[in-house]
Chain A
């Protein structure tokens, strides 16, 4: 099964990468943002497998984004690779720190404490008038190892970058899921005490998940900042986190690919809803999501995982 899904993933990656220049540019931009957000969602999927939901994942997203924006503004470094590493590191470091606190929490309290953290960052950013407060500020166009594309070429380059990082992240998370630390997620959700009887520290396992999710959030934020070429405190607001959680549930925790498909479907749906009914697009968005949650219980991922899961004797 894993071999087959890896193969399909690799194929999808190649097809998307090859087809990109032929696709309409607006679709490329939409997909770039969707996949950047999918990385954040991937982090949430990792935590959700262990039964944790963060209502404050926008914290890492915003830290990654602001890291990119600040570094390029104050040092003039615009190289995408350097900036993404920095964004991921900054968010990861923050996750290590807050992880000491957060890893002890479960359920709704975990969600609320992460929410409080991201809202405090939001408050700090709103208060920082030198950085434009809620208006935010622009991010200089990214360069790639000295190559400085413009216009449509820049968007394509960013898309390919997002695609490559998505593939890398997907592969790495796949490996992680099959490792002991990753595979133990579901048992952690089901029964922590048993895990501890096995001699493993649940808090440490969760701390690791937080850091991985934090890095993914930071990288997603860094990519988003370069794609949107603007950052603002709203990136840390709870509604942003809410959106990520929404896509996570929509996609389901079943597969890695679902995070990308779900994120793209969400962006696409929103864009269509805005075009169809500009004055009441949330009505469409909400209705479609409601129907999806009610009638596709395991998320969009389950739609293309039906066969394999059926074999495992899933109750129909």
Chain B
């Protein structure tokens, strides 16, 4: 019973982490068909920015809530700037090229940004644990849960709800859906696809940085955190269906719960869980769980 409860709570926390990490990736892929390797850099820049913000804000006796907000705003601002610079400065030059070529461009950008981190923040790690401490913890039976983790699960849930609402019920969201569905028709109907692309990429970058920001208090913000996130986010998105918001959520939940179950029941297989689940899902649902049927061209 205790183990089952632990699996569910740990699974939810891990799923929340995966979802906030994957949502920006799936958005950019859905709209622009770009598998964005630089997503890992957005995450890393968000985390570094948030850690810097936490360092500036906390331990000054200011209210904690303002610190959370400040941390998130700084990361989002960094995401916005990087996203705009990349899309306007580099990706714009490559639209229309083979999708793989664009993947490679984002890979080159990732290499560059990885060293930019060193140039800006140095090689040492940053700590931003204050929000984690401020959130406290609650005792549930033999378990102790972190208040921050609970907040993270709620945050991910709100993000999913908000994203789904924005896509389905707001004008920009519905325009986005149109572009996702058929880019050429959308353009023919007068939708400014260039603008939609710029906005999407910037939004994806902001979400990536946001993922880094909310994780920053839990981790040592250090070199290489971006690399780990890339392949994790890819796996979640591939399981859920590339470009699908619901897919990212379900993919994150499946992986999160499977991993938690593995750690508690058979720790030996933890290393294989994500790729095992991904291979299984792709074998039975080749395009992921939530994929639209693609017409075959004749």
Q: B257 on the interface (CB 8 Å rule)? A: no
Among the listed B93, B100, B104, B115, which residue makes an inter-chain contact with A282, where contact means beta carbons less than 8 Å apart?
Answer: B115
Among the listed A113, A191, A282, which residue makes an inter-chain contact with B282, where contact means beta carbons less than 8 Å apart?
Answer: A113
A116, B279: Cβ atoms closer than 8 Å? yes
Residues of A within 8 A of B99 (CB): 107-108
A117, B279: Cβ atoms closer than 8 Å? yes
Docked complex Cα distance between A7 and B235 (Å): 46
Q: Which segment of B44-52, B135-143, B270-278 sits at the interface?
A: B270-278
Residues of B within 8 A of A101 (CB): 283
A105, B93: Cβ atoms closer than 8 Å? no
B278, A116: Cβ atoms closer than 8 Å? yes
A112, B234: Cβ atoms closer than 8 Å? yes
A282 and B114 in contact, given A193-B296, A246-B107 (Cβ under 8 angstroms): yes
Q: A123 on the interface (CB 8 Å rule)? A: yes
B234, A282: Cβ atoms closer than 8 Å? no
Q: What's the nearest-Cβ distance from chain B to residue A307, in Å?
A: 23
Q: B231 on the interface (CB 8 Å rule)? A: yes
79-93 of chain A: CB within 8 A of chain B: none
Docked complex Cα distance between A192 and B235 (Å): 27
B275, A280: Cβ atoms closer than 8 Å? no
Q: What's the nearest-Cβ distance from chain A to residue B119, in Å?
A: 6
Q: A34 on the interface (CB 8 Å rule)? A: no
Docked complex Cα distance between A294 and B86 (Å): 13
B108, A289: Cβ atoms closer than 8 Å? yes
Q: Which segment of A140-148, A217-225, A237-245 sits at the interface?
A: A237-245
Residues of A within 8 A of B207 (CB): none
- Chain B contributes a number of interface residues (CB within 8 A of A) equal to 44
Q: A285 on the interface (CB 8 Å rule)? A: yes
Q: What's the nearest-Cβ distance from chain A to residue B227, in Å?
A: 7
Select from chain B the residue with minimum beta-carbon distance to A124.
B272
Q: What's the nearest-Cβ distance from chain B to residue A129, in Å?
A: 12
Q: A293 on the interface (CB 8 Å rule)? A: yes
Q: A158 on the interface (CB 8 Å rule)? A: no
B104, A245: Cβ atoms closer than 8 Å? yes
22 A-B residue pairs with Cβ-Cβ distance under 8 Å, sorted by A, are: A101-B283, A108-B242, A109-B238, A113-B279, A113-B282, A116-B282, A120-B272, A123-B275, A191-B298, A194-B298, A242-B37, A249-B100, A282-B112, A282-B115, A283-B111, A286-B108, A287-B112, A289-B111, A293-B101, A293-B108, A294-B90, A294-B105
259-298 of chain B: CB within 8 A of chain A: 268, 271-272, 275-276, 278-279, 282-283, 286-288, 296-298
Docked complex Cα distance between A192 and B109 (Å): 33
A120, B286: Cβ atoms closer than 8 Å? no
245-270 of chain A: CB within 8 A of chain B: 245-246, 249-250
A294, B94: Cβ atoms closer than 8 Å? yes
Q: What's the nearest-Cβ distance from chain A to residue B45, in Å?
A: 15
Q: B116 on the interface (CB 8 Å rule)? A: yes
Q: Is the interface of A mostly helix, strand, loop or mixed?
A: helix
A120, B276: Cβ atoms closer than 8 Å? yes
Select from chain A the residue with minimum beta-carbon distance to B113.
A286
Among the listed B103, B111, B278, B297, which residue makes an inter-chain contact with A286, where contact means beta carbons less than 8 Å apart?
Answer: B111
26-63 of chain A: CB within 8 A of chain B: 48, 53
Residues of B within 8 A of A107 (CB): 99
Additional pairs, 17, CB under 8 Å, beyond known A116-B279, A238-B231: A104-B286, A109-B238, A109-B282, A119-B275, A123-B272, A126-B271, A192-B296, A280-B119, A283-B112, A286-B109, A286-B110, A286-B111, A286-B112, A289-B108, A293-B108, A294-B94, A294-B105
Docked complex Cα distance between A113 and B105 (Å): 22
A109, B275: Cβ atoms closer than 8 Å? no
B298, A290: Cβ atoms closer than 8 Å? no
Docked complex Cα distance between A112 and B241 (Å): 11
Q: B73 on the interface (CB 8 Å rule)? A: no
A116 and B275 in contact, given A286-B109, A293-B104, A294-B93 (Cβ under 8 angstroms): yes
B111, A282: Cβ atoms closer than 8 Å? yes
Q: A115 on the interface (CB 8 Å rule)? A: yes
Q: What's the nearest-Cβ distance from chain B to residue A87, in Å?
A: 24
B101, A279: Cβ atoms closer than 8 Å? no
